[in-house]
Amino acid sequence: MGRIELDGLTRKYGDVVAVDGIDLDIADGEFLVLLGPSGCGKSTLLRLVAGLIPPTGGRVLLDGEDITHAAPARRDLAMVFQSYALYPHLTVARNIGFPLRAARLPRAQVRRRVAEVADLLELGALLDRRPRELSGGQRQRVAVGRAIIRDPRAFLMDEPLSNLDARLRQSTRAQFRTLHERLGTTVLYVTHDQVEALSLATRIAMLDGGRLEQVGTPTEIFDQPASVFVAGFLGSPPMNLLPARLENLDGRVRVRADGIEADLRPGEPDGSVEGVEARDVVFGVRPEHLRLTDGTGRAGTPVLRGVVRAVENLGAEEVAQCAVGGETVQFRGARPLGLAPGQPVQLATAPDHIHLFDRGSGRRLVWRPHPARTAPATPRA
Amino acid sequence: MTGTFVEVAAVPRPRAVVTAQRPALARRAVRALPPYLFLLPAVGALVVWTYRPLGAALNLSFFSWNLLPTTPKEYVGLDNYRRLIDLPELRNALWLTVAMTGALLLFTVVLPTVVALWTSALGGRGRAVYGALIFAPVLVPPVAGAALWQWMLDPRSGAVDRVLGHPINWIHEVRPAQIAIVVITGWHLLGFAVLVVAAGLSGIDDEYRAAALLDRASRWQITRWIVLPLLSPTLVFLALMTILMSGQLTFPLIDTLTQGGPDSQTTNVYYLLWEYGFQNFDTGFASAAGLLFFAAFGLVALALIRLSDRLTFHDS
């Protein structure tokens, strides 16, 4: 078992709040990724769970037992450090076997378990080497080996792939996924890399300034970002976010800004609504959800008009930077886009792909039909 | 339509390579000069104060001379060395030097490690106060310290005997005199050694301790398996310093307290050398002894540096 509950967990350094009242329930067997930019408190949060630093408020529960003030050794958690923290004077075999040796297991048993783990991680040939004789990827596997040899209740991983090159990161990600499927142990994983988070996690917890911004599956986080921060963090390039005005025009909901005109059709089929109040919003659309149009499409189709500033070649795709109103909009599509700097463009998107956020709070706006209305309605935008 | 497949041309390589002309020799010499100029003062001091006297000592060791400018030096070849090796006092002094150095290691390696490990757990001000207290004796000049200890070791009326409640003639009995020399030297060095060990401890990445804690190692296991091995280069350095310096460090105490007595039982090799050179004025003989010790300590140092290199683990 390995259910971790965080209950109002807080850590302050003087006046600085590094971790600010985090409530999180991590189910047994879950792969939860703490995602956020550097300085968002994700590593501090992990160290609070590990017991390496004491919290200034709140509780940590492991399988219902309060371990807030338990020593790290009594928590039955294993951790993979960003630096790997391999003991430099010990061989690979001794590094991997360290937790068992500390538990005073018989020598023969330690050797057998080390051999099993080394086999699993393809480290068999390296057992007599010291950490400094290993490559980055091998060190990383030794660190993982030291964590999994003990069969802990949960793994804590602090940016374990950040010191690897791009290719190795990709193959190691796949290994992590297989390993998690095989062991079924709870994983709490810290990263600032959205690709790692999206590809590994069963759930992602997005952190900003020590607070939770959104918790959800990778699909939820990517498709329905709960705030401007989440929307602007994920995607490459991230979502286009532009200030706009939401208006009720002749019974239709319309978003307008300089160079943007988009009819939303909440409560289809006729799309006519009443009582929507005009307000300042942030209009969001992902670069890959834009397409070129000649402006002859159906009336009311969301359209952005601008001028191409630059085109970036990504190999399989191209990204065009376009000036729309006073803002820059990125548009991503299969190469060649057939665009050149200075060329005027019209970009269309589907109403489904439009995200709206409140200008003041930055929180996502969702469509809720009035309870009186009986027409079936799907929440939109 | 007809056609054929043609290979893409390789990136062309230059046919004639033009090598840039090297600047003139004088110009290169001027450019290369600054580092040597920076080294010059240090090298100069080394030559004047260390290598030149060493050369002079080597020269003197082949002569018999009583240090008087009016007496001519007499060439004796290797006689001084032969006499030295046959000297019974030398064996005694050597053995005493080894024993004293061994006992001093307790104060410069073992105790400092224990103290530093204990105090490393202390935080903030407590640690600073503790460190200052333990470092204070380092600041007491050796001869002043020796004078103070002489009063405190006075039989019967001295502070030490009064605290012990048992009269011991510290300076005129063999074993107490030897113990006094070692303990007082150790008291002088302890603070410095603690400082060195503390610096060594702070050089060990905290992540290892954190990792070991999560690997469920006990405090003792972490000390034994992680901290001490990673600290070993520091400890070897301290041992090296102790072995190489113990002769010089105990010298002022021996000279002030016991003058090598009783019955030459506190005469280490340096004191012996000094007695021959500056009391018996047998300059050639003392020079030969000095060179012999120089060579012997050089070999010991070399062995320990080798050991230290093997114990150093480079962090990733």
* Domains of chain B: residue spans and CATH: 79-311 (1.10.3720.10)
* Burial per residue of B276-300, b for 16 or more beta-carbon CB atoms within 10 angstroms, e otherwise: bbeeeebbbbbbbbbbbbeeeeeee
**Model confidence at A370: pLDDT above 80:** no
What torsion do the CA atoms of B267, B268, B273, B274 make, to the nearest 10 degrees?
-60
pTM of the model: 0.81
What value does the mean pLDDT take over residues B100-116? 93
Task: Quote the pLDDT of residue A272.
Answer: 58
Asked if A104 is an interface residue toward chain B (Cβ–Cβ < 8 A), one would say no
For residue range A89-120, what is the model confidence (pLDDT) as tens digits? 999 999 999 999 999 999 999 999 999 999 98
CA atoms within 13 A of residue B240's CA, in its CB half-sphere: 19
For residue range A120-135, what is the model confidence (pLDDT) as tens digits? 898 999 999 999 999 9
Domain spanning A240-365, CATH architecture: Beta Barrel (2.40)
> Could you say which of B208, B221, B230 has the minimum Cβ distance to residue A85?
B208
For domain A4-233, the CATH class is alpha beta
* Burial per residue of A134-151, b for 16 or more beta-carbon CB atoms within 10 angstroms, e otherwise: beebbbbbbbbbbbbbbe
Asked if A129 is an interface residue toward chain B (Cβ–Cβ < 8 A), one would say no
Mutate to test the interface with A, among B215, B219, B224 (most CBs of A within 10 A): B215
Task: Quote the pLDDT of residue B270.
Answer: 87
Q: Nearest CA to A120 among A88, A90, A146, A158?
A: A146
Beta carbons of B214 and A103 less than 8 Å apart: no
Q: Which residue of A has its CA nearest to B210?
A: A52
- From chain B, the residues in CB contact with A79 under 8 A are 210-211, 214
**Model confidence at A377: pLDDT above 60:** no
Beta carbons of B210 and A52 less than 8 Å apart: yes
- From chain A, the residues in CB contact with B211 under 8 A are 79, 81, 85, 87, 146
Asked if A77 is an interface residue toward chain B (Cβ–Cβ < 8 A), one would say yes
Distance of alpha carbon B32 from alpha carbon A311, whole angstroms: 49
Distinct helix (H) and strand (E) counts, chain B:
14, 2
> Could you say which of B205, B214, B230 has the minimum Cβ distance to residue A78?
B214
Size of interface A-B (CB pairs under 8 A): 77
What torsion do the CA atoms of A233, A234, A236, A241 make, to the nearest 10 degrees?
-60
Asked if A1 is an interface residue toward chain B (Cβ–Cβ < 8 A), one would say no
Average the pLDDT over each of A27-41, A287-301, B40-54, B89-103 and give the range with the smallest value.
Answer: A287-301
The β-bridge partners of A35 are: A191, A206
What value does the mean pLDDT take over residues B147-156? 84
Q: Is B284 helix (H, G, I), strand (E, B) or coil?
A: helix
> Could you say which of B208, B213, B218 has the minimum Cβ distance to residue A87?
B208
What value does the mean pLDDT take over residues B166-184? 85
Interface subset of A 184-223, CB within 8 angstroms of B: none
Task: Quote the pLDDT of residue A145.
Answer: 94
**Model confidence at B193: pLDDT above 90:** yes
> Could you say which of B215, B229, B230 has the minimum Cβ distance to residue A98?
B215
Q: Which residue of B has its CA nearest to A50?
A: B214
Q: Which residue of B has its CA nearest to A150?
A: B215
> A299: pLDDT confidence band, cut at 50, 70 and 90?
low
Which amino acid is present at A149? Answer: I
Ranked by mean pLDDT, which of A73-87, A288-302, B130-144 comes out on top?
A73-87
Tokens 């074993």 correspond to B175
Beta carbons of A72 and B313 less than 8 Å apart: no
Q: Which residue of A has its CA nearest to B215?
A: A99
Beta carbons of B214 and A77 less than 8 Å apart: yes
CB-count exposure of residue B8 (10 Å: 0-12, 13-18, 19+): exposed
- From chain A, the residues in CB contact with B205 under 8 A are 83, 85
The continuous run of DSSP H or E covering B295 comes out as helix B283-311
> Among residues of chain A, what percentage have pLDDT more than 70?
93
Q: Nearest CA to B194 among B135, B141, B252?
A: B135
What does the domain layout of chain A look like in residue ranges? Answer: 4-233, 240-365
What is the nearest CA distance from B203 to chain A, expressed in angstroms?
13
> Could you say which of A101, A139, A150 has the minimum Cβ distance to residue B316?
A139
Does residue A330 contact residue A287 with C-beta atoms inside 8 Å? Answer: yes
Residue count (chain A):
381
Average the pLDDT over each of A350-354, B74-78, B189-193 and give the range with the smallest value.
Answer: B74-78
Which amino acid is present at A242? Answer: L
> Could you say which of B215, B225, B314 has the minimum Cβ distance to residue A88?
B314
DSSP secondary structure letter of residue B108: I
Asked if A84 is an interface residue toward chain B (Cβ–Cβ < 8 A), one would say yes
What is the nearest CA distance from A206 to chain B, expressed in angstroms?
26
**Dihedral pair phi/psi, residue A280, rounded to 5°:** -80, 130
Mutate to test the interface with A, among B206, B216, B235 (most CBs of A within 10 A): B216
HEC readout, B122-175: CCHHHHHHHHHHHHHHHHCCHHHHHHHHHHHCCCCCCHHHHHHCCCCCCCCCHH
CA distances B84 to B33, B197, B288, B289, Å, are 46, 39, 8, 7
For residue range A181-198, what is the model confidence (pLDDT) as tens digits? 999 999 999 999 999 999
Q: Which residue of A has its CA nearest to B211?
A: A85
Tokens representing A361? 């709070």
For residue range B224-249, what is the model confidence (pLDDT) as tens digits? 999 999 999 899 999 999 988 888 88
> Could you say which of A84, A102, A132 has the minimum Cβ distance to residue B217?
A102
- From chain A, the residues in CB contact with B213 under 8 A are 51-52, 71-73
> Could you say which of A76, A89, A101 has the minimum Cβ distance to residue B313?
A89
For residue range B274-309, what is the model confidence (pLDDT) as tens digits? 888 888 888 888 899 899 989 998 999 999 888 888
